[in-house]
Amino acid sequence: MVSFLTRRLAAAVVILLVLTMVIFVLQSVSPGDPARAYVGANASPQTVAAERHRLGLDDPFFTRYAHYLGGLVTGDLGRSLRTRQPVTADLATYLPATVELVVAAFLLALVFATLFALSGALRWPGAALGRGVLLLLATAPPFLLALVGIIVFFGQLGWLPARGVGDFQDPGPTGMQLLDTALHGQADAFLDALQHLALPAIVLSIAPAVAIGRVFRASVTGVLDVDYVRTARSKGLTERQVVAHHVVRNAVGPALSMGGLQLGFMFAGVVVVEQIFSWPGIGNYLAASIPVSDFPAIAGVTLVLGAIYVLSNVVVDLLQAAADPRVAAE
């Protein structure tokens, strides 16, 4: 297990180094001039040249890349050209809201996926309708689901708010409204935050739920026919005991792999959902940075999302190894 963990972490480090190189190269060849952006469009050429020297932009490529890596190690992602704040500080402000939304959506996706898989594999009565609705919703792009959800649940029914931000103003230790309101013991604010979180989380969870659920269903169906499951049934165990103790653990490996992929895709796809629901996360931060060519901010968000994707897959590999020790032996 230790050697398995070491291999996965080493592979993750290599991938992250490649990602930093790609981001740095793109930043170097981008048409924008960071020095000009810092000093302003009306600055003299001498002022721009002095700023380029101060920022180290006239150093050799590999020298600048080494400085870039050194900054990453110390948490320095540069300074945003739009907000004039360190990108690290901006991410510390916006990232918690995105994490809250994605985690809530991922938990919902796991619940939907489990119901989708088990109801299909075990042929629960009447479950075909629910699976059909979920499949139909998964065919629509997230922005369309978001707009339809706002029209139906806010405009027509009035059940859920259209904007993804609650009225809770007291900043807490985590920056996540749902968790902070719970820590403050404010029940009304907690319910308000939950209502604002519900619709964007559901929209973000639909497609991953179907992707994970399909893989899990196929795996469960295959495991139901193996010899040790038939033996368990012959011993008089109920179907619930057979599924809980013999089927799920042996079938969950492929679903975990798909879950890791979908978690990364959710962080990438959250940009559209955050814009539609005015959710104060890195999706809105990125969307505001792109039109003004704020490359330090764009690069910082890209690097953080890439790191989350890589590390989430490392965690999934470890969970697979814990569920099936044969994985670690490969």
Nearest alpha-carbon partner for 110 in 307, 273, 260: 260
pLDDT in tens, 10-65: 888 888 888 888 888 877 776 666 666 666 666 677 777 777 777 666 777 788 88
Pair (271, 123) in one structural domain: yes
**Going by C-beta distance under 8 Å and a sequence separation of 6 or more, which residues neighbour residue 140?**
148
- pTM: predicted TM-score of the whole model, two decimal places: 0.80
Pair (243, 108) in one structural domain: yes
pLDDT at 106: 93
pLDDT at 33: 65
pLDDT in tens, 221-268: 777 667 666 676 666 666 666 666 667 777 777 787 788 788 878 887
For 233, the domain range is: 87-323
- The mean of the pLDDT values for the chain is 79
CA distance 100 to 103: 5
For residue 3, pLDDT beyond 70: yes
CA distance 38 to 31: 15
pLDDT at 31: 66
Pair (197, 316) in one structural domain: yes
CA distance 271 to 134: 22
Asked whether residue 329 is assigned to any structural domain, the reply reads: no
pLDDT at 317: 74
For residue 314, pLDDT beyond 60: yes
Instruction: Indicate the number of domains in the chain.
Output: 2
CA distance 70 to 97: 28
Domain boundary among 22, 45, 73: 73
**Going by C-beta distance under 8 Å and a sequence separation of 6 or more, which residues neighbour residue 257?**
215, 316, 320
pLDDT in tens, 83-133: 888 889 899 888 898 999 999 999 999 999 888 887 776 777 777 787 888
Asked whether residue 79 is assigned to any structural domain, the reply reads: no
Pair (24, 119) in one structural domain: no
Pair (40, 102) in one structural domain: no
What percent of the chain clears pLDDT 90, i.e. is strictly above it?
A: 5
For residue 193, pLDDT beyond 70: yes
For residue 330, pLDDT beyond 60: no
Asked whether residue 303 is assigned to any structural domain, the reply reads: yes
- Contact between 75 and 284 under an 8 Å Cβ cutoff? The reply is no
- Contact between 297 and 87 under an 8 Å Cβ cutoff? The reply is yes
Pair (123, 152) in one structural domain: yes
Pair (64, 197) in one structural domain: no
pLDDT at 109: 92
